[in-house]
Amino acid sequence: MKSRFQIATSAVALTICSLSSAAFAQSTGSIEVDDAEEAIVVTGTRADQGVKGVVIPDATKPRAVLTEALIATQPSGQSILNTINQVPGVNFTNSDAYGSSGGNLRIRGFDGNRISLTFDGFPLNDTGNYAIYSNQMLDPELIYSVNVNLGTTDVDSPTASAAGGTVNYLTRTPGSELGGMAAITIGGENFRRAFGMLDTGELTSAGTRAFIAASKTQYDKFKGPGEMKKFQVNAGVYQPIGDNGDFIYIKGHYNENRNNFYRNINLTEIRSLTGRPAMADVGGFTAAQENAIFNFDNLASCNRTVAGAGAQNDGSNTGPNGSGAAAASIAGSGANNPLNSSSCSNFYGVRVNPSDTGNIRLNSKFTITDNLTFTLDAGYQTVRANGGGSTTISETSAIVRGSSTLAGVDYNGDGDFLDTIRFYTPNNTETKRLTVLSSLIWDISDAHRVRVAYTFDRGRHRQTGEWGYLTAQGGAESPFGGLSGRNVLAADGVALRQRDRLSIALLNQLSAQYVGKFFDDALRVEAGLRMPFFERNLENFCYTQTGGSGFATCTSQTVGTTAVANSGGAIFVVSPTAAGPYAANAVWAPFKANYKFSPVLPSFGFTYRLTDDAAVFGSYAKGFSSPRTDNLYRAPIVNVDPETTDTFDLGVRYTTGRVQALATAWMTNFKNRIVTSFDQVNAISVDRNIGTVKGKGVDVGLAIRPLDWFTFQGNASYNDSTLRDNILVSSTVTLPTKGKRVVETPKWTLGYRASVEFGPASAGLQVKYVSDRFATDLNDIKSGAYTTADFDARFNLETIGLKNSWLQLNVTNIFDRFYLANLGTQIAGPANNGLVTISGLAAGASIPGGSAPNFSIGAPRTVSGTVRIGF
């Protein structure tokens, strides 16, 4: 006889696959455990009890879920990470109104690099620096649900960086009947998007069904020249096995982005434009000042349209890749010449962000016996991407001469070696990644369940910087530079590059989980143990500058081990064990390194049902984040430990078909925080563990439908996260950062969404308030609070016989508020402004390691309209 665990497992798995139940975890194994448990403890599925796309699962940890009912109200093509802004504890700042130019995610004060992002359970964070690229997400029409774990992970999470929590979104399953939909959207900034999807219905008597979908998006930047282009294709084949919920689901995904970056403004530029040279509280602008800041991109000298050929420093004005004051054939001259060697690093033609990503994913579940279930997920991913950029170089530099005895290279063909040439110099990253997640679930009895899991994740991370040529208009000949186009060759025939390294990130992880029910199922207890064995194998094929920046010097010139004069580009090698300080032209030789990390990460949680609708819960989880490749490539020997967290949550939830409510108090101890600080012994900056961050706060979420035609969803979060240590930035200066708030982390975030429905018409207004955020660890520069509001309205066409069809209007930032969105944070501002007392540093003096933070401008009011036709 099947146990109650197994009955629930089969029932829930079946409903998950048919999209009528909530799949709220990450891997198939976690879905089986979590959803089966919730189905036993509370009668009915969680999806049935959700309120207009907001679901509070009956989990032992703080978790929030948004389903397609809410996702579909957002602008066409919007990044799913912007949608989760409605979750308490989450703050996402979008780079524009449509989501294809990226953004910045923070959860409970942790930045995106410390949050695990997964797609059907498969990791999406960069294998090197753990970055999240929000513009590469799955088309929102294909996302069934997205869940957010606040401060914790699932026991089998395939990650080496999840100190701050996890985000996972799940792909819809193809429908059992032939059908599909097509949608066209137009909007402000010349926005155009087309999306189409086809479900095949059941193709065989065994229930085989499939889907295919594609989209194409293009629009202009809302400020400054340039545009965003995105193309995506998805497909999937779903095969049910038997009648107990077993299945195999294979999916494929390809995404292509071709974007121009926005030109962000820094503190020094804001001070100049506003006439406030001592500004530390960045906000409170007049209308005229807002207008000046907003239009700064258009006024920047390098953001000009270019026509004609390049120019040379010697004034001959011929050839395609020169730069200098002679610019008769350029639109603008001198400083306005987009190819000028003294400016133009921000010219939009080279500030590009091309990416090609693809993956194949398999999710599956197999019932072995009545009490034993096996799940297997496997995926392979490929990524090619860069962030653009350009560099000028003399035709006679040491790197250009290389090992040759020639005087240089005449790159522009004007018959001399007198010129400084600008080239397209992106840092390309190519990743090949294989991931396997497996779970074996044993129902010991009606009240006890055990799961063991194994996770494998291997990423081959190739980072190169092959130089490429510019067109006559100043843009890149090839979006990936010399990797896919013409190489720029030194005099000895060696291709110029600024980076050349290979990294292997290898994760072998064992995990175990116990679930037990007591007191007539009123109490559920979970205990887990995650044991990641993580290894980084690194190989740097270039020399490394000893200043602590980690920058590479890739050259074929002769390099010895004897000190040479710092002139003409000469460099020499020093031993990695040699004591500093080092000469300015000293470098470390190419090196290999291996780092291993094997923490033991326990977790524990409980939920106690007070009534059929109310419960209390609590959890503890230990997390970790291993050092990033950029941390480890700074020197041949890096002594840095993984970051770790201890997170405690205690909360209460109330869930019915009309109310979903959650309140959680939390505390996190974040240890071994990695920052760049000063090494007094060797007189260089290095990445090191500098101490602890302590965070505590409260997250509250509510979704209520008091009337059939009215729904209210609200969230509020309080976050008090502070640094507990000071930071040494020079031999004489220590920044008093102890007690300072964590950068880019608002103390308060508040949000709500109110929606109404009258027959075929519906409308919603969602608002988000973000309190002030500090832009530096020293807390000497602050960005002001802001409030934004978005509006959506829909008219359902089912009244005229068109099922799954509607007209939809979206207006982002409906009140057209000016605000600063993403912050480019620093350790401290450029100079001591006197707001914080710094021992040994006079007011107005430059702060070692300090710099002017950057700020991105939030998108203005933007209107778009969608026509969606289902069939």
Determine contact, residues 774/743, Cβ cutoff 8 Å.
yes
C-alpha 248/C-alpha 366 separation (Å) is: 9
Neighbours of 816 (CB within 10 A): 12
Residue 568: name the closest of 400, 416, 684 by CA: 400
What is the distance between the alpha carbons of residues 218 and 100, in angstroms, rounded to a whole number? 9
Report yes or no: 155 and 30 within 8 Å, Cβ to Cβ. yes
Residue 729's pLDDT is what?
Answer: 84
Specify the residue for token string 């996890």: 166
Give the pLDDT score at 24: 54
Q: What is the pTM of this model?
A: 0.90
What's residue 855's pLDDT?
Answer: 94
Tokens of 722: 């502070």
What string of H, E and C letters represents the secondary structure of 633-648?
CCCCCCCCCCEEEEEE
Cα–Cα distance between 496 and 713 in angstroms, integer?
55
Crossing angle for the helix pair 287-294 and 267-274, to the nearest 10 degrees? 130
Q: Whole-angstrom Cα distance, residue 108 to residue 165?
A: 9
Q: Find the Cα–Cα–Cα–Cα dihedral 137, 139, 143, 147, rounded to 10°.
A: 30
Q: Compute, in degrees rounded to 10, the torsion defined by CA atoms 17, 21, 22, 27.
A: -20
Q: Is 52 left (phi over 0), alpha (psi -120 to 50) or beta?
A: left
DSSP 759-811: TTEEEEEEEEEE--EESBTTS-SEEPPEEEEEEEEEEEGGGGT-TT-EEEEEE
The DSSP code sequence of 120-136 is TTEE-S-TTT----GGG
> Could you give the C-alpha distances from 420 to 336, 342, 453, 475, in angstroms and in order?
17, 10, 58, 17
φ/ψ (deg, to 5) at 246: -70, 150
Dump pLDDT digits (tens) for 788-839. 999 999 999 998 999 999 999 999 999 999 999 999 889 999 999 888 989 8
Residue whose entry in the numeric block shows the structure tokens 């702060």: 847
pLDDT of residue 163: 78
310, 348 Cβ separation under 8 angstroms: no
For residue 681, what pLDDT is reported?
43
pLDDT at site 31: 77
d(CA 98, CA 104) in angstroms, rounded, equals 14
Residue from 254, 263, 236 nearest 355 by CA: 254
Q: Which tokens hold the place of 664?
A: 């959680």
Question: Of the candidates 709, 716, 786, 790, which has an alpha carbon nearest to the alpha carbon of residue 755?
Answer: 709
Asked whether the CA dihedral 488, 492, 498, 500 is positive or negative, the reply is positive
Other beta carbons less than 10 A from residue 575's beta carbon = 10
**Rg of the chain taking only CA atoms, in angstroms:** 28
Regions of the chain with pLDDT less than 70: 1-26, 34-49, 297-345, 548, 675-690
Residue 522: the pLDDT is: 96
